[in-house]
Amino acid sequence: MEKDIEEWEKEVEKMGLKNLGSMTQSGFAVKPVYTPADLEGIDYKDILVSGQYPYTRGYYPVHYQVNPPMMTQQMSYGSARETMERREFLKKLGRRMFVGDEEDTFAMILALDLPTQTGFDADDPESRGKVCECGPSMSTLKALEEIFEGSPPLSKTSTAFISFNAAEICTAMYAVYCTDIRKEPLDSLVIWSASEHHCQYHYDMASYPPVAGLKLKAELVKWLRENCPQSCSYVMDGYNVAEAGAIPSFEVALAFAEAIATIEECIKIGLDPDDFLPSFYSHFHIGLNLFEEVSKFRAMRRLWAKIAKERFGCKNPEALKLKTFVPQCGGYETAAIEPLNNIIRITTMTLAGLLADQDGVHTICYDEPLGVPTDESIKISTRTLQILAEETDILHVTDPLGGSYYVEWLTSKMEEEILKKLNKMKSWEDS
Closest listed residue to residue 143, CA positions, set 187, 89, 78 = 78
First vs last Cα of the chain: how many Å apart? 46
Q: For residues 64 and 321, give the distance between their C-alpha atoms in angstroms, rounded to a whole number.
A: 17
Query: Which residues fall within 8 angstroms of residue 188, CB to CB, at 6 or more apart?
Result: 153, 154, 155, 230
Q: For all residues of the chain together, what is the average pLDDT?
A: 86
Q: How confident is the model at residue 426 (pLDDT cuts 50, 70, 90)?
A: low
Q: Does the structure show a pLDDT above 50 at 115?
A: yes
> Phi/psi zone of residue 392: left (φ > 0), alpha (ψ -120 to 50 degrees), beta?
beta
- Rg of the chain over all Cα atoms, to the nearest angstrom: 22
Q: For residues 381 and 396, give the distance between their C-alpha atoms in angstroms, rounded to a whole number.
A: 22
Q: Does the structure show a pLDDT above 60 at 431?
A: no
Q: For residues 154 and 191, give the distance between their C-alpha atoms in angstroms, rounded to a whole number.
A: 10
Q: For residues 388 and 58, give the distance between their C-alpha atoms in angstroms, rounded to a whole number.
A: 19
pLDDT at 101: 46
Question: For the residues of 58-116, what is the DSSP string, one character each?
Answer: -SSSS-TTTSPPEE------SSHHHHHHHHHHHHHHT---SSS-GGG-EEEEEE--HHH
pLDDT at 80: 75
Question: For the residues of 378-392, what is the DSSP string, one character each?
Answer: HHHHHHHHHHHHHSS
- Residue 93: CA count within 13 A, CB half-sphere: 26
Could you give the C-alpha distances from 15 to 8, 19, 176, in angstroms and in order? 11, 11, 71
Greater confidence (272 vs 196) lies with 272
Question: For the residues of 137-198, what is the DSSP string, one character each?
Answer: --SSHHHHHHHTTT---GGGEEEEEE-GGGHHHHHHHHHHIIIIIS---GGG-EEE----TT
Closest listed residue to residue 283, CA positions, set 330, 245, 320 = 330
Q: What would the pLDDT profile of 160-215 be if each residue is shown by its tens digit? A: 888 877 888 889 999 999 999 999 999 988 888 666 656 655 555 666 677 888 88
Residue 421: how many other CB atoms lie within 10 Å: 20
Closest listed residue to residue 236, CA positions, set 307, 294, 290, 177 = 307
Q: For the chain, what percentages of helix, strand and coil (3-state, to nearest 5) are there?
A: 50, 10, 40
DSSP H or E stretch at residue 13: helix 2-15
Q: What would the pLDDT profile of 10-62 be if each residue is shown by its tens digit? A: 777 777 666 666 889 999 988 888 888 889 888 888 888 999 999 999 999 99
Q: What are the extents of the domains in the chain?
A: 67-193
Q: pTM value?
A: 0.90
Contact by Cβ (8 Å): 271, 225: yes
Q: What would the pLDDT profile of 292-316 be if each residue is shown by its tens digit? A: 999 999 999 999 999 999 999 999 9
